[in-house]
Structure 1
Amino acid sequence: MKKEKHDELLLQKIFFDINKPLIRTEKFEDTIFKQDEKILKVNNLFVYFEDLEKKQDFNYNKENGTNIAQEYEKRIEEVYGKMYLDRIVEEEDYLFISYIQKIDGYKVFNNILNIKVFKDGKINIYFNNYEKSDVIGQKTNICSVDEAMYTFSKEIKKLVGDEEIYIRDIDLGYYLKEDNENISFYFLPYYRFYIKGNEYPFYVNAYNNTFEYETMIINTEEIF
């Protein structure tokens, strides 16, 4: 696949009031836009947006939070193509809504739109996108979900010890583990595991049946 080159003008229309002035700055590889309490960061890896305004009398519930997420999803979908609802998780302080894109019917785990709607009305959004290229690898057999489950159950114990593990979801899709400065990227089939109490997924490579994981924690103090 190829990395999507973001159109900054289109992103501004998605996230800001185009009738109000914007402050634009650059920091290393990042382009940062600010308007009142809204902040947008754009780079070659991802798009990150925050609306830090606390809404007066904000009606926080699952339905309202999902409606807010759908508004952003529709705007982004108009520019980047069809997205599918992936997960809705109610956490203690926020509602987490995730969308994902598909290639030939399979999920692309890196093409994600993650939206958090907080109890006080604050919102943050993480978005990443790759484009399908014309280069397609040869078909190769993959391990079964039973084999992947066995590998996962054995390896996850090394991370969490004797804690009880509850698997919330398992699915199969394409995943890029490392994103370096390349022109094209080779995605592999992976099983994705979500467990209760952890926001981030774990993976099992469906070619060689190996357990892998990585976390992406965005620290806004470091970004801005």
Structure 2
Amino acid sequence: MKDYLKEKYKEEFEIGEIQRFNLGFAAGELIQARANPISNNQMVFVVTRDNNNTNYEDSYSKLLEERFARNLFSENLSGLGGNIKYYITTAYDGDFLGDGKKEIEINKLNPSFVISIPVERGYDKSDYTEKILNLIYSLEKEEVGYYRVRIEFVDNKNAGIIEEYINLSQKKLTQNDLKERNYSEVKRQYQSNIIDRFIYDSKDVDFQNSPHFIQSLLDKTYKE
């Protein structure tokens, strides 16, 4: 694993405990480990290989892309309110590898934002219409590629589950980590406390018409 990462990213890495998982009859075995660059032990990601594949896969470059997106958009997201929690996932249309030889090109970055806003039941959705519009416009101005915004209004009586869900969702965890931290149950509890959900997909909506589209969506109640 170390040799694979060093060859790919041209830097040194530390590897944690190697974990093995039986994938069932004829599916073979999954091998996973957490890793981090020696230069930054906070940049933890997962390296994976299954028995039917001699090649490793890892999430380090995606971690760097997500950090880039957070730095780029954190100020825009703060306009939704100081008590929001969020995480960002990314796809990238270029060949960025995080080795310092290539910069991330914004127009090739395709971020997805999952934002949780704690609210009282019976809250006024119109309080958020302008804030959401401003966020969408600010994302458009950055001229990223495709992007998606998912905003969930969550009952603030269970605000603790919001932070736990967001923290687990944005971490790169192995199958053992997810099981140990009971991620499926945390996710279930979080989803049971969602009051409303708003989704904006830049691929599916003509931006010129989006203000009316956003306002109409905010008038609808979320249903799982």
Write 1 or 2 for the structure with the bigger share of helix. 2
How high is the TM-score relative to the length of structure 2? 0.29
How high is the TM-score relative to the length of structure 1? 0.29
Write 1 or 2 for the structure with the bigger share of strand. 1
Q: Which has the larger radius of gyration?
A: 2
